[in-house]
Amino acid sequence: MLTAQAIDKRRSKGETVNAPATGQLPVVVIGAGPVGLAAAAHLVERGLEPLVLEAGPSAGTAVRGWAHVRLFSPWAEVIAPAAEKLLAPAGWVRPDSAAYPTGGDWAERYLQPLADVLGGKVRYGATVTGVARAGRDRVVDADRDEQPFTVHIELADGREERISARAVIDASGTWSMPGPMGADGLPALGEKAAASRVSYRVPDLRDPAVRARYAGKRTAVVGSGASAFTALAHLADLAEEEPGTHAAWVLRRGIGANTFGGGEADQLPARGALGLRAKAAVEAGHASAVTGFRTQAVERDGDRLVLVAEDGRRLDPVDEVIVLTGFRADLSFLSEVRLGLDERLQAPTALAPLIDPNVHSCGTVPPHGVNELAHPEQDMYLVGMKSYGRAPTFLALTGYEQVRSIVAALAGDREAAERVELTLPETGVCGGAGRYDDPEAAQVAEGGGCCGAPATVQIGVGMPNAASGGC
């Protein structure tokens, strides 16, 4: 079966093609999160047929996983314009643009209503287990681009299905694959054995059972980004009410002027305030920073845990460990398509240099769209947080612009696809002098900008201040 694009190409040359009409095959979108649903909205706007496959039981399943965390972007920056066009006729009431939603607010007041408007174009309980070209594994060249994609899914009841698609937009995010504790990117020795005492999410201390887990206890928080700031702030609040509650903040680098983010200079005020809250937690004695500590092992000390660094240092025993070291993309179900990925970040090859945290801790992130997100496999795209691979800096606005550009290209409007506009907030400070995770890079003079101008960056974990150092 030819793809719709291949059919159009042959017919434009005057060839007779006995194949389905253009548009008969859907564009499969993997993930009913913010960027996936925005892609669907753009597809509908362009007259193309989307089919959104969501592994969870509702829209924004991953977002609901951090429902208790407040975003540091206001409603005005987390609603896709194309989505609002679909929602408005359905009587949807736009939230206050200046207010900051929690993950739960985002899911209930925007994502689920959007999915409801899309109706049968969204399927729940559909886990994608593989993507390939029909009749072609990744080795075969013959007529490859003329074959439709075949998307393998497993349903909640265990049944399997195969879906043909003209294109695939993977917006499945990275939430399902948090980074491990080990400084080498692998689980620390003993980390798996200590699993009952290790968490990889910002705790929801509103839950009585979760609160009891940390109240009056000593907890190690491993990580240096917005997720760690959030955890430190929450634990500091708990310490005000529950004596004995203390956090040991484990950092791989030292404390510098930029450790706590942009503060009052941050053009995302909520993000700046979050860093200041983390700083206040340290200054108030509710948290103590352990710097230059690269975790190698986790050992038992009776009922408690001891973290051991590569240099042999041992942290004082703790009751719990919260690991917030970023997230990774699940590429396992894409093994039969040809992806062009950077060897370090696992982001699209052309995009990686624009977002590499080893280089771009400050300065502007150039606009990017379909050209930077293309792969050797035609019409296969990774978007949203997944497109950033291991780079911990991402904004919802970035993802919305990505899918606008991609859908324009799929619709044949190349001029619109290449007219990419992206304006991001400034931080007012640099993030490590361009040397990601370098212990010395944190030592930037107070008020100094390594680029000679305010930095422009994006926010990680997709979007909230539960971000992986970046939702």
Q: Which residue has the higher pLDDT, 110 or 460?
A: 110
Binning pLDDT at 50, 70 and 90, where does residue 260 land? low
Please tell me the predicted confidence (pLDDT) of residue 13: 55
Binning pLDDT at 50, 70 and 90, where does residue 356 land? confident
Please tell me the predicted confidence (pLDDT) of residue 79: 96
Please tell me the distance from the alpha carbon of residue 38 to that of residue 47, in angstroms, as a whole number.
14
Helix (H) or strand (E) holding 311: none
Please tell me the predicted confidence (pLDDT) of residue 49: 97
Q: What is the set of domains in the chain, with CATH numbers? A: 4-176+327-418 (3.50.50.60), 195-323 (3.50.50.60)
Mean pLDDT along residues 126-131: 98
Binning pLDDT at 50, 70 and 90, where does residue 362 land? very low
Query: Mind listing the pLDDT tens digit for each residue in 207-259?
Result: 999 999 999 999 999 998 888 988 999 999 999 999 999 999 999 887 655 55
Q: Which residue has the higher pLDDT, 335 or 367?
A: 335
Please tell me the predicted confidence (pLDDT) of residue 453: 25
| pTM: predicted TM-score of the whole model, two decimal places | 0.84
Q: Two tokens at 140?
A: 């075969």
Mean pLDDT along residues 454-458: 26
Q: Name the residue type at position 36.
A: G
Please tell me the predicted confidence (pLDDT) of residue 447: 30
Q: Which residue has the higher pLDDT, 355 or 463?
A: 355
Please report how the helices 34-45 and 396-410 are oriented relative to each other, as an axis angle in degrees rounded to 10. Answer: 30
Mean pLDDT along residues 377-386: 97
- Residue in 278, 274, 296 with CA at minimum distance from that of residue 236: 278
Please tell me the predicted confidence (pLDDT) of residue 143: 94
Mean pLDDT along residues 185-201: 97
Query: Mind listing the pLDDT tens digit for each residue in 140-187?
Result: 999 999 999 999 999 999 999 999 999 999 999 999 999 999 999 999
DSSP for 44-112, written as a single string? HHTT--EEEE-SSSSTTHHHHTTTTSBBSS-GGGTS-HHHHHHHGGGTPPPPPTTS--BHHHHIIIIIH
Which residues fall within 8 angstroms of residue 100, CB to CB, at 6 or more apart? 70, 71, 72, 73, 74, 75, 270
Query: Mind listing the pLDDT tens digit for each residue in 297-314?
Result: 999 999 999 999 999 999
- Please say if the pLDDT value at position 296 is more than 80: yes
Binning pLDDT at 50, 70 and 90, where does residue 425 land? low
Please tell me the predicted confidence (pLDDT) of residue 272: 57
Mean pLDDT along residues 331-336: 98
Which residues fall within 8 angstroms of residue 31, CB to CB, at 6 or more apart? 52, 53, 54, 55, 62, 170, 171, 172, 173, 384
Between 37-41, 201-205, 267-271, 427-431, the lowest mean confidence (pLDDT) is in 427-431
Mean pLDDT along residues 440-456: 31
Helix (H) or strand (E) holding 347: none
- Please say if the pLDDT value at position 370 is more than 70: yes
Phi, psi angle pair for 152, to nearest 5°: -90, 130
